[in-house]
Amino acid sequence: MAQKTIMLNCAAGMSTSLLVKKMQESAQAQGKDYEIFACPASEADQKLATEQIDCVLLGPQVSYMKADFEKKLDGKNIPLAVIPMQDYGMMNGKKVLELADSLMA
């Protein structure tokens, strides 16, 4: 089992999958055993109910859903953040991984 599990959410789970790959490469290079995956925001409830999630990141295109996610995560002690537009646009896996790490610290 992975040391930490990070879930990225976006509209359809497509654009975020490339960022997941970049984050996985960065985690591997740092010797971190992380499970990182992307899914559509519509599947978030199911994933939160069936998997041990340590951090939730939202793609900038679904930042308007942050309040909904805060309600979903209420009382679960799972940090939540919106991925900065610049890091998302540049597919900067290292920076987004640093964001997740700072939230899980």
Per-residue model confidence as pLDDT tens digits over 55-80: 999 999 999 999 999 999 999 999 99
Positions marked catalytic: 10
Within its chain, how far is the Cα of 3 from the centroid?
15
Backbone angles phi and psi of 5, in degrees to 5:
-125, 125
Whole-model pTM?
A: 0.95
Q: What is the pLDDT of residue 13?
A: 67
Q: What is the pLDDT of residue 15?
A: 78
| Residue 57: strand, helix, or coil | strand
Q: What is the pLDDT of residue 1?
A: 73
Domains of the chain: 4-104 (3.40.50.2300)
Per-residue model confidence as pLDDT tens digits over 7-20: 999 988 677 899 99
Shortest CA distance to 47 belongs to which of 18, 76, 26, 22? 76
CB count within 10 Å of CB 61 equals: 17
Contact 23, 93 (CB under 8 A): yes
